[in-house]
Amino acid sequence: MIVIVSLLVFVMLAAAVAAFIFKDLLSAVLAACLVSLIASILFLFMHAPDVAMAEASIGAALVTAVFVIAIRRTGRREE
Amino acid sequence: MRTTISILLLAVVAAGFFLCLADVPFGEPKTQVGNYYIEEGRAQTGAANIVTSVVLAYRGFDTLGEVTVLFVAAFGLGAVLGAAGGKRKHEPIEPASIVLRTGCRFLFPMLIIFGVYVFLHGHLTPGGGFQGGAVIASAFLLVYLGCRERRINLTRKTWTDSLGGLAFVVIGLIGLGVGGRYFLSNFLPNGVVNQLFSAGILPLIYIAIGLKVGAELTGVVDDLLEETE
């Protein structure tokens, strides 16, 4: 269990740093989506299924969709 | 020079936080109210899900504020994007690929049923109005992605949104009038814990919140996706 959680946290941190570094905004948004997804799994491990559901449906799905729509309206590359 | 000053200011703020929090023991319960909810929540509210009993029964008025915040945010987005008065453009859009279309048509009813299940059983299983509403909104997001020629009926969306919010307030006012002492007090029998018809007014409030949040977030997606004239 502790191994799985450490692995997830490691991937989550890597995704967060990647979202910060990426110049391609679409990749950055997908990395941020991965952070939310892993956060919801961690909430489930910490016996908070209510928060996990909210995080998965809002953080991972709807917020990502809003960002992708905004990127489509503006530009994909960060100057 | 500016960097030095900002680092100094940060150090001062960090020291302030440290001094405030240094004496607080880590991980121990600071108040007794949490234990009270865990011990008494089931018996007092009749809800098997303690989170629901806190969110809707003990802190129902805060939840009304939360719903209001979401409403104001969605309303502001609509106002900024000019969707309130403007007409939708309805320009011809190229249809999505067959894989995306079929996938969206396949998933849409299941997501709707799952969302309704989540908010109907908010007092029994994890989840509730906000989560169920978000699931319903993501189902409509799939419609926007896969079947672009289908438009969502905006009038119906607005009515669902408004009636959901109105139902919450009306249930609260009935509680004030019939139930007795305070806004949102329970006026229905608690019933047997773990039954679908139990926990008094909590399922009714979650139905109202679920419909409202679903309609509202669908409206947000619609405002962002559709161009106005």
Q: Is residue A79 part of a domain?
A: no
Confidence category of residue B11, pLDDT binned at 50, 70, 90 = very high
Does residue A78 belong to any structural domain of this protein? Answer: no
Instruction: Please tell me the pTM assigned to this model.
Output: 0.82
Instruction: List the single range of A32-36, B90-94, B170-174 with lowest mean pLDDT.
Output: B90-94
Q: Residue B21: enclosing H or E segment and its boundaries?
A: helix B2-21
Instruction: Tell me whether A13 touches chain B (CB under 8 Å).
Output: no
Q: Residue B92: what pLDDT? A: 62
CA distance B1 to chain A (A): 27
Specify if A53 maps to a domain: yes
* Short-list B206, B133, B126, CA closest to A53: B126
Domain count, chain A: 1
Phi first, then psi, for residue A24 (nearest 5°) are: -80, 115
Helix (H, G, I), strand (E, B) or coil at B129: helix
Q: Is the dihedral of CA B32, B27, A44, A51 positive or negative?
A: positive
pLDDT at B23: 80
What percentage of residues in chain A have a pLDDT greater than 90?
A: 41
Does any domain span residue A58? Answer: yes
Range of the domain at A12: 2-73
Average per-residue pLDDT for chain B:
83
Kindly list the residues from chain B whose CB atom is less than 8 angstroms away from the CB atom of residue A57.
131, 134-135, 138
Q: Is residue A40 part of a domain?
A: yes
Measured distance CA(B3)–CA(B57) in Å, rounded: 50
What is the rounded CA–CA span in Å between residue B210 and residue B135? 10
Q: How far apart are CA B129 and CA B204, in angstroms?
A: 10
pLDDT tens for each residue of A32-46? 999 999 999 999 998
- Nearest CA-CA distance, residue B182 and chain A, Å: 27
**Each residue's pLDDT tens digit, B151-167:** 777 888 888 888 988 98
Q: Is residue A20 part of a domain?
A: yes
Q: Model ipTM?
A: 0.84
Q: Which two tokens stand for residue A48?
A: 């908070």
What is the chain B residue with the closest CA to A55? Answer: B131
Report the percentage of chain B scoring pLDDT > 90.
19
CB contact under 8 Å between B138 and A54, yes or no, is no
Instruction: Answer with the residue of higher pLDDT: B227 or B95.
Output: B95
Q: How far apart are CA B22 and CA B96, in angstroms?
A: 58
Half-sphere exposure of B50 (CA within 13 A, CB side): 12
